[in-house]
Amino acid sequence: MSAGARPARVAMVSVHTSPLAQPGVGDAGGMNVYVLEVSRHLARMGTAVDVFTRTTTASQPEVVEVEPGVVVRYVPAGPYEGLSKEDLPGQLCAFAAGMMRVAAHAPPGYYDLVHSHYWLSGQVGWLAADRWAVPLVHTMHTMARVKNLHLADGDEPEPRGREIGEAQVVEAADRLVANTAREASELVDLYDADPARVAVVEPGVDLTTFAPGSQAAARALLGVPADAVLLLFVGRIQPLKGPDVLVRAAAELVRRHPGLRDRLVVGVLGGASGSGARTPMGLDDLAARLGIAENVRFVPPVDRPTLAQWYRAADVLAVPSHSESFGLVAVEAQACGTPVVAADVGGLPIAVGEAGLLVDGHDTADWATALGRLVLDPALRGTLARRAVEHAQGYGWAHTAQRLLDVYGEALSRPKDVSIHEAPRLTGIPTAVIP
pLDDT, tens only, 375-421: 999 999 999 999 999 999 999 999 999 999 999 999 999 765 544 44
H or E element in which residue 169 lies: helix 160-172
User: What is the CATH superfamily name and number for domain 215-392?
Assistant: Glycogen Phosphorylase B; (3.40.50.2000)
* Binding-site residues from annotation for 1D-myo-inositol 3-phosphate: 16, 27-32, 85, 118, 142, 162
Per-position DSSP letters for 69-113, written without gaps between them: TEEEEEE--S-SSS--GGGGGGGHHHHHHHHHHHHHTSPTT--SE
pLDDT of residue 431: 30
Task: For the chain, give the number of residues.
Answer: 435
Average pLDDT, the chain: 90
Nearest to 136 by CA among 411, 372, 432: 411
* Binding-site residues from annotation for Mg(2+): 311-312, 314, 338
The listed range with the strongest mean pLDDT (149-153, 240-244, 313-317, 321-325) is: 313-317
Per-residue pLDDT for 272 more than 80? no
CATH code of the region 9-204+396-427: 3.40.50.2000
Per-residue pLDDT for 275 more than 50? no
Range 154-175 average pLDDT: 94
Q: What is the pLDDT of residues 148-164, one digit of tens each?
A: 998 888 788 999 999 99
Q: What is the pLDDT of residues 65-76, one digit of tens each?
A: 999 999 999 999
Range 219-246 average pLDDT: 95
Q: What is the pLDDT of residues 24-36, one digit of tens each?
A: 666 777 899 999 9
Per-residue pLDDT for 291 more than 60? yes
Strand 296-299: give its sheet, edge to edge: 296-299, 264-269, 229-234, 316-319, 340-343, 356-359
Nearest to 339 by CA among 321, 324, 320, 352: 352
Provide the whole-model pTM: 0.85
H or E element in which residue 138 lies: strand 136-139
pLDDT of residue 29: 75
CATH 3.40.50.2000 domain residues, the chain: 9-204+396-427, 215-392
* Binding-site residues from annotation for UDP-N-acetyl-alpha-D-glucosamine: 22-23, 30, 236, 241, 302, 324, 332
How many other β-carbons are positioned within 10 Å of the β-carbon of residue 223? Answer: 8
pLDDT greater at residue 274 or residue 316: 316
pLDDT of residue 238: 87
* Binding-site residues from annotation: 16, 22-23, 27-32, 85, 118, 142, 162, 236, 241, 302, 311-312, 314, 324, 332, 338
Residues 327, 334: Cα–Cα separation, whole Å: 11
pLDDT band, very low/low/confident/very high, at 349 (cuts 50, 70, 90):
very high
Dihedral angle, C-alpha 249, 204, 85, 192, nearest 10 °: -100
Q: What is the pLDDT of residues 95-146, one digit of tens each?
A: 999 999 999 999 999 999 999 999 999 999 999 999 999 999 999 999 999 9
pLDDT of residue 281: 65
Residues 89, 172: Cα–Cα separation, whole Å: 18
pLDDT greater at residue 85 or residue 435: 85
How many other β-carbons are positioned within 10 Å of the β-carbon of residue 212? Answer: 17
pLDDT of residue 294: 96
pLDDT band, very low/low/confident/very high, at 280 (cuts 50, 70, 90):
very low
